[in-house]
């Protein structure tokens, strides 16, 4: 499934995850996993994105 063929709500959740990973190169398999994860509830996606963001701040 691509961003153009997924439901708008899932594309929005995928964008949240991709924003948290801004600048991190992703393989096709990793992007596919993020697309799968974006199918979960909004609060779950936001929590995962928050953890990613915090982890990037650790020196």
The answer as to whether 25 is a domain residue is yes
The answer as to whether 1 is a domain residue is no
Residues in Cβ contact with 20 at an 8 Å cutoff, skipping those fewer than 6 apart: 48, 49, 50, 52, 53
**Residue 16 pLDDT:** 98
What range does the domain containing 45 cover?
8-56
**Residue 21 pLDDT:** 97
Assess contact for 19 and 49: CB atoms under 8 A: yes
18-27: long-range pairs with CB below 8 Å, 24+:
19/49, 20/48, 20/49, 20/50, 20/52, 20/53, 21/52
Which tens digits make up the pLDDT trace of 8-56?
A: 999 999 999 999 999 999 999 999 999 999 999 999 999 999 999 999 9
pTM over 0.85? The answer is: yes
- Give the number of domains in the chain: 1
At 4, give phi and psi (nearest 5°).
Answer: -80, -20
């Amino acid at each position: 499934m691509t961003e153009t063929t997924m439901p708008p709500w899932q594309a929005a959740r995928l964008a949240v995850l991709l924003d948290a990973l801004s600048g991190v190169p992703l393989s096709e398999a990793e992007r596919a996993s993020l697309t799968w994860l974006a199918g979960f509830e909004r609060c779950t996606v936001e929590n995962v994105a928050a953890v990613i963001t915090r982890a990037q701040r650790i020196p």
